[in-house]
Amino acid sequence: MAGPSNKVLVETRPKLLKWYVMIETKATTTGTGRGGDARSPQPEVRPIPELQTYPRVEISQDLAGAQPATGNPRHFFRRLLYALLAAAVTAAAAWSAYRWWDYTRIWVKTDNAYVAAHIHQVSSRVAGTVSEVLIEENQVVAAGQLLARLDARDFEVKRQQALALLAQARAQVQPAQARIAQAQSDVTREQVRATKAQQDLERAKQLSQGGNAAISQQEFDTAQALADGALAGLQSAKSALQAAEAGIGVAEAQVKVAEANVKEAELQLSYTDIQAPTAGRIGKKNLESGNRVQPGQALLALVQPNVWVVANFKETQLARMKPGQPVRLWVDAFPGREVTGRVESLAPASGAQFALLPPDNATGNFTKIVQRVPVKIVFDNQSASDPEGRLVPGLSAIVEVKVRE
C-alpha cells in the first residue's frame, strides 16, 4: 500500500547561488501478509522544471517532516554578552592606562628608602675597669643620665698628688714675694749711698780745683772711688730686684701649672662616670661589670627618637623635585599604614661619591649607570606619632613625592 506523499520545498544558498529542490517521499509496501517485506521510505528528488540547468542535488537523509530553519535566541544573547564584555575590558584598560599616565606625571616613586636617625656611639674617655653598669638593653635614658662607672681609685690618687703639687707651688710664692721686698729695700739703700757719694765727689772736685787746693789729689780719688762704688752697688741692687721679680713670676707660673694639673686630674676622675650625651634608647650594649675598657672603645649605642627617611631617587626623577614638596610613604613594618611628610633637602652629591672607593669614569671602559641621589624626608608630627617606639632606623620604606599639583 502506498503511503502519503510529502513535498518539501528547500531553499539553499551556498555562496550566492540559489537551489530549489522538490523532495517527494513515497512509502511503498511490497508483499502481502505476514511474510511480506516492507521497504523504508525513499526520498525522490525532482528538479524544478525551470531549474533544469542547475546541478542535481542528492539528498541522503530522510527529510520527511522537515521544517524550515529558524534563529536561536540563546546565540544572540551570548554574542551580545561577549560584545559587552569586550567593551568593558577595553574601557577598563583605557581607564587604567590614563590613571597610570596621570600618576606618573604627578608622583615619583622609589622603594630604595630607609628610616634613619642620629646614632651616638658612647665610649670611655679614660682607660679603666668597669665597676658598675646602671642601664639595660633598649632602655630609654635622658640626657646626662649616668650609664656606668669605672673604678675611680687610681684617678683619685692622681688628683691628690696634683693638689699636693699645687700647695707646694703656692708655698713658693711667699718667699719670692719676700725676696722682692728685700731687693726693693736694697735698691733704696744703694740709691741713698750713691746720692751721698755723688755729692761728696762734687764737693771734692770743687775743693781740689785752683792753685790753693783744700784737699789733696788722693782725697779726691777716694771720693771718686766711693761714688763709683755707690753707683755699682745701686746697679747690683736693681739687678737683684729684677731677679726677684722674675722669681715671683716663675713661682706664680708654677702655681698655674699645678692648678691646671689639678683640673686635669679632676676631669680624669669625672670621666669615670659615663653619662648619656643625649636622650634616646640604649642599643648594642657591650658593657659589663669587670670589663677593662680603653679610650675610644665603643661601649654602647644611643639612638635618638627623632627619625627621618633617606630615599635614594634616580637622577632622572629629580627634575621637578625640590624641598617642601609633600610626600606619602609606607613603612614595611606597618603594612597598610600611610604616613605623610615633606622633602627637607637633597644631598650635595650622589651616593657613589660618598662611597669608600668612588668610581673614576675617566679610566677604563665606560658604562653609563643611572646614579641615585639621597633625599632627606621628614615626617609630619601627627602622622608619624609612634608611642611604642617601633619606628626605628634601618626599616625599609616606599616613598612617593608629589612633584606636580
**What would the pLDDT profile of 354-386 be if each residue is shown by its tens digit?**
888 888 777 667 788 899 999 999 998 766 666
Q: What is the pLDDT of residue 34?
A: 44
Q: Is the pLDDT of residue 28 over 70?
A: no
Distance CA 270, CA 154 (A): 12
Contact (Cβ atoms closer than 8 angstroms) between residue 264 and residue 106 = no
Distance CA 128, CA 272 (A): 8
**What would the pLDDT profile of 45-69 be if each residue is shown by its tens digit?**
455 444 444 455 444 444 444 444 4
> Where on the phi/psi map is residue 210: left (φ > 0), alpha (ψ -120 to 50), or beta?
left
pLDDT top residue among 271 and 206: 271
Q: Outline where 107-216 has alpha helix (H).
A: 153-171, 173-208
pTM strictly above 0.75: no
Q: 220 vs 100, 231, 365, CA distance in Å?
A: 124, 17, 105
- In three-state secondary structure terms, 269 is helix
CA–CA–CA angle 152, 153, 157 (5° rounding): 115
Q: Which three cell numbers stand for residue 397?
A: 620604606
Of 106-115, 137-146, 185-194, the poorest mean pLDDT is in 185-194
Q: Is the C-alpha dihedral spanning 107, 112, 114, 116 positive or negative?
A: negative
- Span 213-231, mean pLDDT? 73
Q: Which residues contact 323 (CB under 8 A, 6 or more apart)?
A: 342, 343, 344, 345, 346
- Span 346-353, mean pLDDT? 92
Distance CA 87, CA 216 (A): 150
Distance CA 397, CA 114 (A): 6
DSSP code of residue 7: E
Give the containing element (helix H, strand E) for 21. strand 19-26
**What is the rounded end-to-end Cα distance, in angstroms, of the chain?**
95
Residue 232 one-letter amino acid:
A
